[in-house]
Amino acid sequence: MNRTLLVLLGFLSMFALFILDMVLGSVSIPIEDVWAALKGGDTKKSWQYIVLNFRLPKALTAILCGAGISVAGLQMQTLFKNPLAGPSVLGISHGASLGVAVFVLASALFYQPMTGVHEMLGNWGLIIFAILGSMLVLMSVLLASLRLSDSISVLLVGLMFGFITGSIVSILQYFSDPELIQNFLVWTFGSMAGVAWTEMKVMAPVVTAGLILSLMFQKQMNALLLGEHYAAGVGVNVSRIRMALIVTTSILAGTLTAFTGPVAFIGIAVPHLTRLLLKTSDHKILIPGSMLTGAIILLSCDIISQLPGQQATLPINSITALFGAPVIIGIIMKNRRMKGAFA
């Protein structure tokens, strides 16, 4: 079957990009040495250190983030029945930023520089605040959307919530010291490189749990596409699934945003690209499909942002936007209007 071939091709290219992401960078490391470093074989000590402690967690982060943000976007598009919904559009990333800002600034007030056990606790605190921040915004947007009938209004409301949280973050910045602001600004550019093994130990299980959880909602999400009455008619508890989708989206988008910064456009563009490639709206195929496509695309964006052979690194957001924005423009132009864009 054509689709099986596509999936196989997808897995192969993901694996190839995963290796390539570890080969390329400011220092190019030959593929045999990357392989040797991964297997614990014989290679240069410095290369081994770079591969195991920088490039491997970075590539893994790109996969988790690509898969997670894409699924979060897909869930929001189905939840809001809105083809342009996504973590960066509806203010969910902003909500996570607010959580992160509050946590970072608050912990700077109460703790001395964190080390060891504190660092571990700090990571969990970061995640929890980011999740709570995203959930707060997502719930508010959902409540507003229940009173609004057209999708444009919902997007605008989401955008406004984004501005509100954004301005609160700016106000918080005004009262904090310059070094923290510098860190915060760098964080907002988005980067896969900020996740070391200590962070990975926290991020990977949470994101994996979110991804597995998202696979449980295929039925309900398909039914929701027919409208809430049809969904209720086939035994879906509509308010419960709405809540479940909000929680899952917040866990995925919140956690990932906390560690990689807000990654723009992946959440909107990848589900559309997947629909286009696999020619279906069936979530049984779309959910795993979006994970795979998202991982592939974010790995590619990460490789490009490293500017192979150069010392400088571009912010990953500029690359994802360069890729994502044209996809979205294309989708809107193709369908002439937004309502049809689920096709």
Partner 1 sequence: MEPLNGKSIAFNHRHLSRPILRTQDLSIGYETKNGPFILEEHLNIRIHNGELVCLIGPNGCGKSTLMRTIAGLQKPLRGTTYIEGKILKSLPPHKYARLISLVLTDKIQAGAFSVKDVVAIGRYPYINHFAKLRPYDCKIIDRSLEMVHLESYSDRHFSELSDGEKQRVMIAKALAQDTPLIMLDEPTAHLDLPNRVEIMNILKKLAINTNKAILLSTHELDLALQTADSIWLMKRGTAIRNGAPEDLVLTGAFEDVFACDAFDFDKSTGAFKVKHISKGSVALLGSGIPYLWTRRALERDGYKISEGTGHEVSVKIVGSNCWQIASGGFQDNCKSIAMLLAHLRHLDYYKTKKAD
Question: φ and ψ at 170, to 5 degrees?
Answer: -60, -40
What is the amino acid identity at position 281?
S
The piece of 152-160, 162-170, 272-280, 305-313 that touches partner 1 (CB under 8 A) is 272-280
SS (H, E, C) 155-170: HHHHHHHHHHHHHHHH
Least spacing, CB of residue 236 vs partner 1, in Å: 7
- Which of 173, 281, 313, 318 is in the footprint of partner 1 by CB under 8 A? 281
Residues 114-143 that bind partner 1 (CB under 8 A): none
Least spacing, CB of residue 288 vs partner 1, in Å: 11
Residues 6+ apart with CB under 8 A from 112: none
| Residue 27 interacting with partner 1 (CB under 8 A) | no
Cα torsion angle, 281, 73, 305, 259, sign = negative
Site string for partner 1, 39-78 (x = CB under 8 A): ----------------------------------------
Question: φ and ψ at 152, to 5 degrees?
Answer: -65, -45
Residue number, 192 or 341, with CB nearest to partner 1: 341
| Residue 273 interacting with partner 1 (CB under 8 A) | no
| Residue 279 interacting with partner 1 (CB under 8 A) | yes
What's the CA gap between 133 and 135, in Å, rounded?
5
| Residue 326 interacting with partner 1 (CB under 8 A) | no
- Give the Å distances, CA to CA, from 277 to 32, 146, 319: 33, 32, 21
The piece of 62-70, 98-106, 158-166, 334-342 that touches partner 1 (CB under 8 A) is 334-342
Could you count the other beta carbons within 10 Å of the beta carbon of residue 273? 22
| Residue 229 interacting with partner 1 (CB under 8 A) | yes
4: tokens are 């099986």
Site string for partner 1, 192-221 (x = CB under 8 A): -----------------------xx-xx--
Q: Between 56-79 and 283-305, two packed helices, what is the crossing angle to 10 degrees? A: 140
What is the amino acid identity at position 25?
G
Total residues at interface with partner 1 (CB under 8 A): 29
Query: Site residues (CB under 8 A) for partner 1?
Result: 81, 215-216, 218-219, 222-223, 225-227, 229-230, 232-237, 275, 279-284, 339-340, 342-343
